[in-house]
Structure 1
Amino acid sequence: MTSTALRRALTEPGPPPLPERAAALLEELSAPPRLAAHLRAVHAAACLLTDAVALGYPEPAVDREAVLFGAAVHDIGKTVHVGELSAPGSAHEQAGYELLLAHGIEERLARFARTHADWRRPGIGIEDLLVSVADKVWRGKRVDDLERLLVDRLTGPGREPWRVFVHLDDVLQAIAAGADERLAFQNRHPVAG
């Protein structure tokens, strides 16, 4: 049964709603309301980022649906490791990946639970980098080496890296400008249900 606090975190006005499949999974797991609010905030940043990337860089092709779902579930392992909602920790990453697989989520989407904090691992795709960047910039945080990796992936034939950097920097500054509103939205919701 979904708590009133969780329902409010999933539906109240604010960041865009999560994909239905992600929201249903959070309800099924009785996720902490703060987690649902956090996922909506990161998902909102991912929406803005993927739209800007798709508009400015049609190549390489980006799986927008995967990025948005990944942003909506990247921290789902915190339903198991609730202490990591308010304290550092990485146990939620593998736990989230396994939890998603156990609930029938295909690996191509479940992977974001593991890759969102480990963007240096081999085989990281542009979608993984976009989720990782969204997970930082939603609160106004910028990570140089992560952003450089994304610039490298977006720089294709005929594109100058410095132009890609300037464009991405403008996009991320615009997203970061909404950080206070997203943080306030997240913090309105309790850690516990």
Structure 2
Amino acid sequence: MTAGLLATAMGGPSVPRMRLLPPQAVDLLVALQAPPRLGAHLRAVHDVAWQLTGWLTSTYPGLGFDRAAVLFGAATHDIGKIVHPEELSGPGSRHEPAGRRLLLDAGVEPRLARFAASHGTWDSPAAGVEDLLVSVADKVWKAKRVPDLEQLLVQRLVAVSGDEPWAVFLTLDDHLDGLAAGADRRLAYQNGFPIAVA
């Protein structure tokens, strides 16, 4: 029954309508017997990342980033919660290194596995624009806004656009507000699936 719920969470009809996870992420989640709620959560964050990266590609074409990597990162960033399911409903960061290890053990390239660990450490000097985008999507899906995180993205956008920081901030802020507006429905979708794996 849990496998069916996981499949529904990742690929069934959704309100709001959300894109499907990348096949590689789906295969990993099925093989690792992810809880259905985790599948729903990753689908929601992936959908926000898809919208955000699509908008950035057209609005700031000079921002060079690997969109496929961001989407994979968004689709797997919390995979370590399979090992630490208590962090599906409560705080904790033990899932971050555990997720990276799960992905590496499954043969995922280190450049893609890193998002499982880096989504919570976006303020690291080593964080690239892809890491920032996964982290922003992981916050905005539930309408959480983190000014310090968003400011790091603004700095990257200013550097490639030459626009004034205030103008970039306002443009990004408006877009993130629009993405955040769907948070209640995304949360309801996620919470409609069980945490436990039967």
TM-score range, shorter chain: over 0.9
Q: Which moved more, 1:83-92 or 1:158-167?
A: 158-167
1:9 corresponds in structure 2 to: 9
Q: CA deviation at 1:162?
A: 1.0
- Quick check: 68-77 or 115-124, which moved more? 115-124
- Indicate the residue corresponding to 1:114 in structure 2: 117
> Structure 1 CA distance, aligned partners of 2:70 and 2:42?
13
* SS of residue matched to 2:26: helix
| Aligned twin of 2:103 | 100
Runs of 5+ in structure 2 lacking a partner?
none
Quote the offset at 1:62 in angstroms: 1.5
Q: How far does the alpha carbon of each residue in 1:165-184 deviate from its partner, in whole angstroms, 9 at most, with x for none?
A: 11100110000011111111
**Does the 8 Å CA contact 1:2/1:28 hold for their aligned counterparts?**
no
Give CA deviations for 1:36-64 in whole Å, capped at 9, x if unaligned.
Answer: 00000100110111011111111121110
> 1:154 & 1:192 partners in 2: Cα distance?
41
Q: Is it true that 1:181 corresponds to 2:185 in the alignment?
A: yes
Structure 1 runs (4+) deviating above 4 angstroms are: none
**Number of equivalent positions:** 193
Distance in 2 of aligned mates of 1:152 and 1:13: 37
* RMSD of aligned residue pairs (Cα, Å): 1.2
Following the alignment from structure 1 to structure 2, what is the Cα–Cα distance between the partners of residues 83 and 72? 19
CA contact (8 A) 1:75 1:113 kept: yes
The percentage of counterpart residues that share the same residue type is 59
Residue 171 (structure 1) aligned to one of 175, 189, 196: 175
Task: Report the alpha carbon displacement of residue 158 of structure 1 after superposing the two structures with TM.
Answer: 2.3
In 1, Cα distance between equivalents of 2:2 and 2:32: 9
Unaligned runs of 5+ in 1: none
Q: Which residue of 1 is the match for residue 74 of structure 2?
A: 71
Going from structure 1 to structure 2, the CA distance change for 1:61 and 1:151 (only over 3 Å counts) comes to same
Equivalent-residue separation in structure 2 for 1:43 and 1:168 (angstroms)? 19
Please give the TM-score of this superposition, normalised by the length of structure 2. Answer: 0.95
Distance (Å, rounded) in 1 between the aligned partners of 2:72 and 2:4:
24
